[in-house]
Amino acid sequence: MTKSEIREPRQARSIEKKKKIAEAGFKLFCEKGFHHTDTNEIAKEAGVSIGIVYHYFKDKKAIFLAVMDQVSPKVDSEIIKQLHLSKDKKELGPFLSDIIDKDIKLHIITKSPHEEFQAMSHSDPDVAEYMNHYKNQFLSAIVDALPSLGFSISNADEKADMIYHMIDQYCDAVALNKRDRINYDDMKVLLIETILNLLNLDILN
């Protein structure tokens, strides 16, 4: 099936079917990993024919990207609302702590596909492009919202990028690569202190 034949569902039933295929892929990717799962298994798990899978997805990688798009954290109205309520360092600390805890849980739940996704980002242009697009979208949404929420932060784009990577590295370590000599609760406190010091924010009135 060529790329032009891939269907973008519009009716509720078709949208639900595509979502069900992605959910089946997510379940199997978490259980077996991307490379040990095939589309026939995904079709069986979703309760559809292999032909239906290929109506909505070009290949297994397309399902994988759809899965990561569904489980990746999103900048939505609730997060912006939380940010709006965190206008000083006393409130930003708990906000950051909550974001970090949620990210760790996501890393643990998606351990197998997450590790493969990271590895594929270095060898697969489509995955690398997806990750870059997601990161840009994620960080731009935060940075663009700051002035309207009353935050004044110098070099906001650069600092947002640094913070993104610091949190991601910490969550990777806690969820995937813990070292015996590290107290990760203490490290979390240090991480949040470092982020707050890096921000050194002023509040616009």
- 66: three-class secondary structure by DSSP: helix
Res 38: pLDDT: 93
pLDDT given at position 134: 83
Q: Do residues 126 and 177 share a domain?
A: yes
The overall pTM is greater than 0.85 = no
Q: Write the CATH number for 88.
A: 1.10.357.10
Q: How far apart are CA 190 and CA 188, in angstroms?
A: 5
Rounded to 10 degrees, the C-alpha dihedral 21/23/29/31 comes to -120
- Are 112 and 172 contained in the same domain? yes
Residue 23 is part of a domain; what is its CATH number?
A: 1.10.10.60
Q: Please say which residue of 69, 91, 111 terminates a domain.
A: 69
Domain that holds residue 64: 3-69
**Neighbour count for residue 187 (Cβ, 10 Å):** 13
Residues 103 and 185 in one domain: yes
Q: Give Cβ neighbours of residue 76 (< 8 Å, ≥ 6 apart).
A: none
Q: How far apart are CA 73 and CA 76, in angstroms?
A: 9
The number of folded domains in the chain is 2
What pLDDT was estimated at residue 92?
81
Report yes or no: 94 and 87 within 8 Å, Cβ to Cβ: no
184 and 130 belong to one structural domain: yes
How many separate helices (H) and strands (E) can be counted in the chain? 10, 2
Q: Are residues 58 and 85 in the same domain?
A: no
Which of these, 6, 24, 12, lies nearest to 67 by C-alpha position?
24
Asked if residue 141 and residue 197 are part of one domain, the reply reads yes
Same domain, 63 and 119: no
In a shared domain, residues 54 and 86: no
Give the per-residue pLDDT at 3. Answer: 44
Question: What is d(CA 104, CA 109) in angstroms, rounded to the nearest whole number?
Answer: 9
> Mean pLDDT for each consecutive 10-residue tract of the chain (205 residues)?
59 85 90 90 94 92 84 60 64 86 85 81 88 86 82 89 93 90 96 90 56
Question: Is 53 in the same domain as 82?
Answer: no
Residues 52 and 115 in one domain: no
One domain, residues 96 and 36: no
Where residue 202 falls (left for φ over 0; alpha for ψ -120 to 50; beta otherwise) is beta
Do 194 and 130 lie in one domain? The reply is: yes
